[in-house]
Structure 1
Amino acid sequence: MMKRLLVSALFLTSVAVPLSGQGGRGARAVPAAGPPAPQLAFHIEEDFFKLPENIWPSEAVGVALNSKGHIFLLNRGNHPLLEFGTDGSFIASMGEGSTIFHAAHSVRFDAEDNMWLVDAGNNVVVKFTAKRRIVQALGRRLEPWVYMTHGIERAIPGPASFYQPTDTAVGPDGSTYITDGYGNSRVVKFTREGNLVKYWGDRGARPGQFNTPHSIVIDRNANLYVADRQNNRVQVFDTDGKFKQEWPLDGLAWSLCITPGPNQVIFVGSVGKVYKMGLDGKVLGTFGKLGRLPGWFDSIHAIACPDEKTVYVANEFSYRFDKVVLDQGAQPSSR
């Protein structure tokens, strides 16, 4: 069980260093249209997560797996972070009473099993070791006047400050990429040590612009994929912020996960639906339908995919986490 964490620990490693410049924008590159994507058959493992009787999740906002295959569920209730074993057995809860979870938004693990927590309410991204000790914090908590002054502009001063960040991805070299999503409409890059390198993006719908960059992942070849939620697309960049491609969707791009291994695929969580996509932007299939009953999905705030057949889904507004198993073939699901 994690002990109460002090807010002051968050701000010891805040950074404010010179900016190296924004990434360039490339020409619009859109994958060619193909035949309609198949509906993927699936089933949900009902009651997979064995919750104690005294714990009830609230808004389901994050899901991630560590190297042991343990599943971490992030919610906005009194027990913000819940850890489960590979069989769904409850292990521990963390974050009770901690201000770090003021408005929890996402949780991720890097290759070294460090845990990254994005707190959109405090405008910070916190790095924990595998033993849950804080070793780095990016961003800083903002005073109320900042929101009042810059609310209309949807931006804040200072390149190393965030305005409601949404997600993070860690590259092979330890560089950290943060979607500074609700307020600043950009991606921010930091070194392993927490020094600001650069940022790119502003509010808009052109290539390299964003309207709520909500999720981010990185592949084996160091390509970055950003869920540009309100623009209904995924954008692809290199690690210097150069635009490479965009993938238009027929729904909001809420969340992303990418499978491990040599042949990676991406799952995109939307509203009531999940897209399975190749790294070339081709839609390999979709599954799900809109609803709050078991077996249906609402706004998929976060998604995790330890392999190509298993997907964990955070249904934000039905306060529910699901383990989804894709069945063989591409026949329409009965759900």
Structure 2
Amino acid sequence: MDLTSSRRFFLKSTAVTATALTFKPFYILNAKPKANGEIVGHGTHKYRVQQGWGNLDSSQFPVNNCHEMVQDSKGRLIMIGDEVKNNILVYDRSGKLLESWGHEYPGGHGLTLWNANGEEFLFICDPNLGKVFKTDMKGKVLLTIEHPSKVGAYKPEMNFKPTETAIGPDGTIYVADGYGSQWVLRYTKEGEYIDKFGGPGDEEHQFATAHGVAIDSRNKSNPTVLVTSRVHNSFKRFSLDGKYLSSIFLPGAFVCRPVLDGENIYAGVCWSRLKYLNQTPNSGFVTILDKNDKVISNPGGTKPEYRNGQLQVMVQEYHDLMHCHDVCIDADKNIYICQWNARKTYPLKLERIS
């Protein structure tokens, strides 16, 4: 996983920097882990931690990094990781393993489910292979997107390490090159290249670790594209054809992909920050935004606080979470968390209690 770093974005905002420089969360370094069953979250979104929910026999079903999870129309929870003995683990909601498959994705990272008029497909991103695969629900490859130089979109020497996909209302495929050259590329549903937008940099329309991408259809008459710019601690909003619209700044939160459920946006936070805007090792939490894109709860993190309309720096508070890489939300609004670089732990569950 790329651990790119950038501070220029934060220096543009003296208010945020001043807040970060006066914040003193040194207790984080010495805090003791809390017991399983701890209550985390805030306001109307509180949860009971269920460590070990997804634990399996590691000799038969090992994991390395649990990267992402989606839920299909049958309620099955499908997780991708980068362990080639079983890239895909399929759970029911009790944590029972239903099936496993996949041995060909050494960098298994992005997992998107597309329901095309009742027929479901998976899109798998492998930044190690530099490819995107569309498969059926059993893993049969139906379409492969390869290095963009093959269609004239990149120069051959440019890196292509795709991390995430999203599927637009018309089937357009959006590919986030989050560990590569920082573009979001658009393809037709048949895999034909259309164009790209973004690129590396600190301008509002550019990205620093374009780690995730999702379609925001909460406004059904005007769906948009949300792209993670993780080093910028931001989601950036674009029109479906790639025109920049706005940004959601989440100071202190190295967010992964935005996950839309109902009127809310959920995201795993892969790192939080400390006093001098540095990444904090082995940190992470979950952040939840409302229909107005305001943070309302941080399960595992500090309570969100706005001063004069500005969100203040958020950091980890519950210390048994590490590098929250993705979340999945079930019908009862429970949260399942996949963690990266977390001592080969299986997914855990946050049971909704309010």
Residue 117 of structure 1 deviates from its aligned partner by 0.5
Distance 1:288 1:57 in 2: 23
- Selected match of 1:274 from 253, 277, 286: 286
Query: In the alignment, which residue of structure 2 is the partner of 1:45?
Result: 50
AA partner of residue 238 (structure 1): S
Note if contact 1:118-1:165 (Cα within 8 Å) is conserved in structure 2: yes
Query: In the alignment, which residue of structure 2 is the partner of 1:256?
Result: 258
Are the structure 2 counterparts of residues 43 and 91 from structure 1 closer, same or farther at C-alpha, using a change threshold of 3 Å? Answer: same
Query: In the alignment, which residue of structure 2 is the partner of 1:32?
Result: none
Q: Does 1:200 align with 2:206?
A: no
Residue 322 of structure 1 deviates from its aligned partner by 1.2
Please give the root-mean-square deviation of Cα atoms over the aligned residues, in Å.
Answer: 2.7
Query: In the alignment, which residue of structure 2 is the partner of 1:157?
Result: 155
SS in 1 for 2:63: coil
SS in 2 for 1:230: helix
Note if contact 1:139-1:162 (Cα within 8 Å) is conserved in structure 2: no
Distance 2:203 2:352 in 1: 35
Provide, for residues 141-180 of structure 1, a one-character-per-residue CA deviation record: whole Å limited to 9, x for no partner: 99xxxxxxxxxxxx95169x86111100112211111101
Query: In the alignment, which residue of structure 1 is the partner of 2:175?
Result: 178
SS in 1 for 2:254: coil
Alignment of 1:1-335 (within 5 A): 38=42, 40-49=45-54, 51-52=56-57, 54-77=60-83, 78-96=85-103, 98=104, 101-112=105-116, 113-140=120-147, 156-157=154-155, 163-220=160-217, 221=220, 222-250=223-251, 251-259=253-261, 263-270=262-269, 271=271, 272-289=284-301, 296-307=320-331, 309-318=333-342, 319-320=344-345, 321-328=347-354
Structure 2: gaps spanning 5 or more residues:
1-40, 272-283, 302-314
Task: Give the number of the structure with larger relative contact order, counting CA–CA contacts within 8 Å between residues 6 or more apart.
Answer: 1
Distance 1:292 1:55 in 2: 31
Query: TM-score, normalized by length of structure 2?
Result: 0.71
Query: TM-score, normalized by length of structure 1?
Result: 0.74
Residue 56 of structure 1 deviates from its aligned partner by 2.3
Aligned residues between the structures = 273
Note if contact 1:254-1:299 (Cα within 8 Å) is conserved in structure 2: no
Structure 1: gaps spanning 5 or more residues:
1-36, 143-154, 329-335
Give percent identity, aligned residues only: 21
SS in 1 for 2:60: coil
